[in-house]
Amino acid sequence: MEKYPLVSVIIPGRNSGKHLSRCFKYLKAQSYPNIEIIVADSHSLDNTAEICAKDKVKLINFDNSFLQGRFDATYKRNLGAKEAKGEFVYYLDADFELTKKLIEEAVEACTKEGFDGVIVKENVYGRGFWTKCKAMEQECYWGDDNIEAPRFFRKSIWQKLNGLDASLGAGCDDWDLYQRFLEEGYKAKRISAPLIHNEGKITLTGSAKKAFLYGRDVSKFVKKSPKRSFIYLFPIRPAYLRHYQLFLKHPLLGLGIVVMRTVEYFFGAMGVISNKLKSK
C-alpha cells in the first residue's frame, strides 16, 4: 500500500443508518484500494452502531448536548479529521454516493499534479418535483468558485488551516475554509468524477426548516467575511444567468427554483431574526 497513501473518509451522522450501508457500499467499490472510513456520530438511536460494526467501520461519538439542538456536523467533521490516520481527508454526508474512480482521481490530482485540495461536482437525484428543481439548481453551480468548495484535502493543510470553523455553525463553514485555503496560496482542482447526492424527496417544508436552521448562524459568517458573504449569499446568483438556457429549456423547473429559493431566503431571514431576538 506504500504507493497508495491512506485516504480518511469522514461521515458525520445522527440516526443515519438508512443511508450508511449504501454509502459504505460505494466507498468499498472504489477503484482506489487504501481507504479508512470514520463515522462521527452523536449517540444515534437507530442501527448506526450495528451497521458500522458489520462493515468494520470506525465509529466515534460526539457529545453535542452543549449545542442545544444547533447544527453539529462541523464539529463531527473536525473530530473525525482529528482521529484520521490518512494523508488525505475527505468529508462526506451519509446520503452521498461515490462514482467508482472518484477517490482515485482526487489522490492523483494531489500526488501527481501537485494540487492541495479537490472539488467534486455534485449531481442530485431523488423523487418529486422539488427534488428535480434542486437537481437543476445544482447543475447551475458546476464550475462556480462562488458556490462549490473542496471537501478533499491533504491532511497537513487541513491541520495548518485548523479545519472547519465550527463557531460559524450551519452552512457557511465550507465557504469559509475554501476562502482561507485560497488566501494561503493553496490550489484546488476540479476532477471529472462526480459525486451523487441522494436527496430522497425534497419538500418545501423541509427546505424551509433547513433554511431557518442555517439562518440562525449565517450572521456569524457575514460578520467574519462581509465582502465574501455578500457574493456567496446574494439571492440572484450569476450561475443562474450563465445557465439561462436551462431555464428556457425547463421553464417549470426554473419557476420552481425561484419559488424554492424565495421560501429558503424568507425562512433564512426568519432564522436571522430569531437568533438576534434570542441574543438580546
Mean pLDDT estimate for the chain: 92
Q: Which of 54, 51, 62, 56 is nearest to 12 (CA)?
A: 62
Q: Rounded to whole angstroms, how far apart are CA atoms 207 and 214?
A: 11
169 vs 201, more confident: 201
pLDDT score, position 197 = 96
Determine, yes or no, domain membership for 2. Answer: no
Whether 121 and 25 have beta carbons less than 8 Å apart is answered as no
User: Kind and range of the H or E element at 163?
Assistant: none
Establish if 196 belongs to a structural domain: yes
Residue 115: inside a domain: yes
Residue at 168 is within a domain = yes
Is residue 170 predicted with pLDDT exceeding 80?
no
CA distance 116 to 155: 9
Using the predicted structure, report yes or no on whether residue 11 has a pLDDT greater than 80: yes
User: Which residues are within 8 A (CB) of 68 and not within 5 positions of it... i.e. 6 or more apart?
Assistant: none
In a domain, 259, yes or no: yes
Query: Residue 27 above 90 pLDDT?
Result: yes
Residue 144 belongs to domain with CATH number: 3.90.550.10
pLDDT higher than threshold 80 for residue 162: yes
- Do the domain assignments include residue 1? no
C-alpha cell at 33: 484500494
pTM over 0.75: yes
Is residue 155 in some structural domain? yes
Domain around 93: 7-279
Domain-embedded: residue 261: yes
Domain count within the chain: 1
